[in-house]
Amino acid sequence: MIDVVGIGDDGWVGLDEGRRGLVRDATTVLGGRRHLALVAGHTAAGADLVAWPSPLRPALPGLLDTAAGRGAVVVLASGDPLRSGIGTTLIELLGADRVRIHPALSADTLARARQGWSAEETSVVTTVGRDLRAVLPHLASGARIVVLCSDGLDPARLGGLLTEHGWGATQLTARWHLGGPDEGALATRADAVAGATADLVVCCLQVRSEDAAAMSSVGTVPGRAEDFVAHDGQVTKRDVRASALARLRPTPAAHLWDLGAGNGTIALEWCLAADRATATCVERDEARAQRIRDNAAALGLAGRVEVLHDDTATTDLTTLTPPDAVFVGGGGNEALLTRAWSSLRPGGRLVSHAVTLDGEAVLVGAHAWTGGDLTRLTVERAVPLGRHLSWTPARAVVQLAALRGES
């Protein structure tokens, strides 16, 4: 059994007697150099204080085996070890039955306490070792966000990112060394942040915008204007896209296959629609596949969208993360639909579109064995015609939407 002890910036004095006892009784204490310094002089005589190696993950199994062979093992972690911490890694590696977590107050909890923000109305985003653009999907006027940062340069970087995307009016409060003797803070507009703060910093965002364009794509409901991503014209139009996603039903942590992804708009809006939703895109055109990657990064979704450059007719679907839903764009064939359908668990959802007569015939044929709904979608938009407006129809789209049953 490994005990993971959360410790705050106040060090030993902030530990309760239970956590102090674990540290005193440990034969081996593992942690970052800063954590080990906080307990120096309070461990048992002869105890080994071992700093994490770099890179950490490959060395962990051997390091833990060696430590466990000597006796009781304590791992030190900042605040809550399950908030972007080593506790999560250890449970993934060893299983929950071999790891006991003894949390302290997390940095985001302390930040909310200073701000007077309730947990229910605050989002927490970690950018530790990650792209700051992970904040972007959470931006909406009035939102309250606590951002866990990598270092003291991040507040200025974050302020620049918010300003670039039209959210420069956001009130940004940087707070560092929360709960410790060196605690400090700086509050200003995002577009006025300059210079570096101390490390061990979080940023509290009271989100605001004075830019109407920034507000045009907020919210989780699909159907954003086509220019929310870069594209070459191969893009599912917003009204049809909204219909497809209404049938696909994005849910938290659910996974989508977007087969024949084009420029990735279905997959990207799937991820934006639900917290922790992920997607695998398969696209045969190499330039479009790269564009999906670039679009995902620009939207703060780089870690949630996997892109495979491959012909969907030959891709080995059994190697992909199992899907909760599958979207097959125009150009799908019976063999691909069959493989996609058989990959779905009971309750999984399939949506496919066709814009040609051949594609429509494929969907009509597939409907015989998938069931579900066949829908013909037609959209007309008013465009100028001389001094007047006239309705101009877009190409009709046939949509197959089906729910996989028990069979």
pLDDT tens column, 264-321 = 999 999 999 999 999 999 999 999 999 999 999 999 999 999 999 987 777 889 899 9
383, 390 Cβ separation under 8 angstroms: yes
Q: What single string gives the DSSP state of each residue in 252-269?
A: TT-EEEEET-TT-HHHHH
Q: What SS3 class is residue 219? A: coil
**pLDDT tens for the 407 residues of the chain, in order:** 999 999 999 999 999 999 999 999 999 999 999 999 999 999 999 999 999 998 999 999 999 999 888 999 999 999 999 998 899 999 999 999 999 999 999 999 999 999 999 999 999 999 998 999 999 999 999 999 999 999 999 999 999 999 999 999 999 999 999 999 999 999 999 999 999 999 999 999 999 998 888 887 788 899 999 889 989 888 889 999 999 999 999 999 999 999 999 999 999 999 999 999 999 999 999 999 999 999 999 999 999 999 999 877 778 898 999 999 999 987 789 999 999 999 999 999 999 999 999 999 999 999 999 999 999 999 999 999 999 999 999 899 999 999 998 64
> Quick one: how far is CA 136 from the chain centroid?
10
Q: What single string gives the DSSP state of each residue in 318-383?
A: GGSPPPSEEEE-TT--HHHHHHHHHHSPTT-EEEEEE-SHHHHHHHHHHHHHH-SEEEEE--EEEE
- Give the chain's length: 407
Other beta carbons less than 10 A from residue 284's beta carbon: 18
Q: In the structure encoding, which two tokens stand for residue 359, read together?
A: 């594609």
The full set of domains in the chain, from first to last, is: 2-104 (3.40.1010.10), 108-214 (3.30.950.10), 220-403 (3.40.50.150)
147, 205 Cβ separation under 8 angstroms: yes
pLDDT tens column, 113-136 = 999 999 999 999 999 989 999 999
Closest CA to 25 of 47, 50, 5, 49: 47
Please, where are the H alpha helices in 11-153? 17-25, 33-39, 56-68, 86-94, 107-115
What integer pLDDT is reported at residue 74 of this predicted model? 96
What integer pLDDT is reported at residue 233 of this predicted model? 84
Closest CA to 354 of 334, 383, 380: 334
